[in-house]
Copies of this chain bind each other. A is one copy, B any other.
Amino acid sequence: MIVKTTVRFLYTCKQAFNKNNKLGGNQVWIVGACFGAGLAAYSTVIKHAEMASLSIDKNNFMAEPITDSAILKANPSDMKTKMELMIMKIQKDFCKALEAEEDPETKFVVDRWLREEGGGGITCVLQDGRIIEKAGVNISVVSGNLPAGAIQQMKSRGREFVGSGPLPFFAAGVSSVIHPRNPMAPTIHFNYRYFEVTDSSGKKHWWFGGGTDLTPYYLNQEDAKHFHSTLKAACDKHDKSYYPRFKKWCDDYFKITHRGESRGIGGIFFDDLDTPSEEKVFSFVKGCAESVVPSYVPLLRAHKDDPYGYHEREWQLIRRGRYVEFNLIYDRGTKFGLYTPGARYESILMSLPLAAKWYYMHIPKEGSKEAEMMEVLKNPREWVAEGKSR
């Protein structure tokens, strides 16, 4: 497999990498924490990522795994191994599904990067394509000691760690935002992540978090139902209470508070999921991640060549301005990341659209398609009837 890179990338990556080395622990956390923003970026170049002979099928991945093959092979049932291989496959499957919708010459550029302190990531970017205006599909697999700020944040959410010494952690996640060019095709964001923290007593704390949400520019009720019912089906297989709980959590989280409107039509969102068992939650999270392609790609395919004009493009750009507002003002991962000295801002800001616009006092005309969209953004709806899934 050929992993593409450019000299330009290399130049900045090295700068960032050196910076990170000086900053130590904080960086570890950024990579693990910026779930809303993109888990990975920057690169050390690998021109030909020749993989060792593993039972692990390299065709499942966009680049060589982050963790050494020998370690993966020796620990096949460790959740760290399972999560890394799962998110790498999700990354590959999603990138390939998106490339299949693009012009044949338009492919993801792959950046694989490593951290001295432990771990690294694979960033896949597609920019300025005919179908996809900007897409990032990132994975990261990192470890180290938790910085004080991260410990504080976890404790405030109710986690109790024994002792006051350093807390070794492991985090693995996949994170993605896709902004299509056609205003009739929606934007999607998803992120699934796994955390392990070992406290002074040797106790391993673990939990999963994540979610998938959709941001259409024009309301298509059939699409909304398809998207939500695909997510609901993935949830219902594991716990009938998940979809209603996580759907509401998503509506509450992706709010552009100052405008009193949602970023999009929601989906699911959850954090700190650590019951009933590691295996069962992993299986649920895997199911959610696998539902991204069937929930989204049919919508992209259906609308990527829809006719549209200047008016629709303008509206899309205005809504992308609102996407920027949410990500820069409210998104926890983005804020946390950017306020940390030496943050990998290119990674964190990869979720921003290629283009956005701001008009003073823009209000859609009454009765217009744009006003119809706004009505739903102001008043989140239920898209799937109780107990039903498609």
Interface set of A (CB-CB < 8 Å, partner B) = 8-9, 11-12, 41, 125, 127, 134, 136, 257-259, 317, 321, 324-325, 328-329, 335, 338-339, 341, 343, 345-346, 348-350, 352-361, 363
Q: How far is the CB of A178 from chain B (nearest CB, A)?
A: 13
Are B324 and A329 in contact, with the CB atoms below 8 A? no
Are A355 and B356 in contact, with the CB atoms below 8 A? yes
A sample of 20 cross-chain residue pairs with beta-carbon separation below 8 angstroms, ordered by A number, consists of A8-B363, A9-B361, A12-B361, A125-B360, A127-B360, A136-B360, A258-B345, A259-B345, A321-B356, A324-B324, A324-B328, A325-B349, A329-B335, A346-B360, A352-B358, A353-B358, A355-B357, A355-B358, A356-B357, A356-B358
- Chain B residues, CB < 8 A from A352: 321, 358
CA distance A343 to B329 in the complex (A): 14
- Option from B341, B345, B361 in Cβ contact (under 8 Å) with A346: B361
Are A127 and B346 in contact, with the CB atoms below 8 A? no
Q: Using CB atoms, name the residue of chain B closest to A335.
A: B329
Are A363 and B11 in contact, with the CB atoms below 8 A? yes
CA distance A189 to B161 in the complex (A): 49
- Chain B residues, CB < 8 A from A257: 338, 341
Q: How far is the CB of A42 from chain B (nearest CB, A)?
A: 8
Copies of this chain present: 2
- Chain B residues, CB < 8 A from A349: 325, 358
Are A258 and B359 in contact, with the CB atoms below 8 A? no
Q: Using CB atoms, name the residue of chain B closest to A16.
A: B361
Q: How far is the CB of A214 from chain B (nearest CB, A)?
A: 21
CA distance A317 to B321 in the complex (A): 13
Q: Using CB atoms, name the residue of chain B closest to A6.
A: B361
- Chain B residues, CB < 8 A from A329: 328-329, 335, 338
Q: How far is the CB of A354 from chain B (nearest CB, A)?
A: 6
Are B354 and A359 in contact, with the CB atoms below 8 A? yes
- Chain B residues, CB < 8 A from A127: 359-360
Are B343 and A258 in contact, with the CB atoms below 8 A? yes
Q: How far is the CB of A58 from chain B (nearest CB, A)?
A: 25
Are A258 and B338 in contact, with the CB atoms below 8 A? yes
